[in-house]
Amino acid sequence: MQRLSVGHHLILFFNEDYSKNIPILKQLYGSRFGQISYIVPDHYARLDRWYRYPGKSFRLANGCDRLVNRARRLLGRRNQHEFHPPVRGRLAEWPAIARVIGFKYYFQDFFWQARRLLLASGAEWFWFVADDLLLNPKINERNILEFFDLREGSRSVICEPYCRSDEWVNWFQGSSDRVIEKLRSVGVYAADFSARTFPDDPHLAGPNQRRVLGGCADFFGCHRDLLVRVLDTFHALALRKVFVEIAIPNVLLSLDKNPTLISGFEWEFDTGRGNSERIRNFIANPGNKAFYHPVKFGILEPELAEDIAEASAS
């Protein structure tokens, strides 16, 4: 496969198949980045318990998922919110879409599955952005490194992680001891990193040990020099069922000697469509904030979606 030589590659990824939003994402970022790809999961939801249950093999669940979805495709069945590409004559206008398999708790494996697409790119930097995360409208491929004020020698950009309580870790992983063992087994337990306590942790008052780092998994940047090692380690941790919000910060903090950390972003704890007023304020006055989360494009009112597209294009 021939490499495309550009400085930056934007990867817009979904943890569930809401790929019907690809056209609006293309509208938002198409004029700002020369190379854009999409990573979209095929997933059979009834296998969620297999992925989550500690006694079930990740490979077994993944294999069953792949077989079920291959059969669904052969039968002509599609996901409810799936993107249908335009007519054949216009396909060349659309960037690459990588189809992957897996469960959203371990979506770090999606990137490993799409590695052929990523490594075929000649980009120096790869920017991974969730489909419901809205980058600052000021950011484009010409100024992104300057915007994040990259540290000297830095090979990654990640959201500043936090020390998470045992209760939080236990909810996703069973126990802190278990996840620490898994991280150490692949050499990426970032135990010596000085991190703050998560400010909205409901267990702040209790005598909780905080030995595991967690953080935002919806945005990060990775230099090409580090990419293969990062992808392979993501895969290893997915096989061990390490939750993505633990996997990504520990991998990048361990493999990059001097990561660039960002803390200026707006995070709305709303799993619905997001706060329309706050979204409007963000696109009107984004300042130096890296992004706003979440923006659910599939259920956003049309007028606001148009305003976001206009602000992003300008």
* Tens-place pLDDT, residues 7-42: 999 999 999 888 889 988 998 999 999 999 999 998
pLDDT value at residue 84: 65
Give the mean model confidence (pLDDT) for residues 221-248: 96
The boundaries of the domain holding residue 299 are 8-313
SS3 label, residue 157: strand
| Tens of pLDDT, residues 113-127 | 999 999 999 999 999
Give me the pLDDT at residue 237, please.
Answer: 96
Instruction: Judge whether 2 lies within some domain.
Output: no
Residue 276: predicted pLDDT: 80
Confidence at 267, pLDDT banded by 50, 70, 90 = confident
Whether 1 is in a domain gets the answer: no
Q: Residue 259 has what pLDDT?
A: 94
12 domain residue, yes or no: yes
Cα gap 28→138, rounded to integer Å = 12
Residue 275 clears pLDDT 80, i.e. is over it: no
pLDDT band with cut points at 50, 70 and 90 for residue 208? low
Q: Is the pLDDT of residue 133 over 50?
A: yes
Instruction: Tell me the mean pLDDT in the region 94-99.
Output: 79
Residue range 178-206: mean pLDDT, rounded: 74
297 within a domain of the structure (yes/no): yes
pLDDT for the residue numbered 82: 76
**For residues 188 and 180, is the Cβ–Cβ distance under 8 A?**
no
CA angle 190, 188, 63 (to 5 degrees): 135
For the domain that residue 104 is a member of, what is the CATH number? 3.90.550
Phi and psi at residue 206, to the nearest 5°: -85, 165
State the pLDDT confidence band at 221, using cuts at 50, 70 and 90.
Answer: very high
pTM of the model: 0.88
- Whether the pLDDT of residue 197 is over 60: the answer is no
The overall average pLDDT reported for the chain is 85
Domain count, the chain: 1
Report if residue 3 sits inside a domain: no
Domain contains 126: yes
Q: Does some domain include residue 42?
A: yes
Q: What is the rounded distance in angstroms from the CA atom of residue 247 to the CA atom of residue 250?
A: 5
Q: Which residue, 125, 89, 88, 102, is CA-closest to 39?
A: 102
Please compute the mean of the pLDDT values over residues 145-167 and round it to a whole number: 91
* Predicted local confidence at residue 91, as pLDDT: 45
Note the pLDDT of residue 65. Answer: 85
Q: Would you say residue 244 lies in a domain?
A: yes
Task: Extract the runs of DSSP E, i.e. beta strands, from the chain.
Answer: 8-13, 36-42, 97-101, 125-130, 134-135, 156-159, 162-164, 196-197, 212-214, 219-223, 260-262, 266-267, 291-293
Cα–Cα distance measured from residue 30 to residue 10, given in angstroms and rounded to the nearest whole number: 10
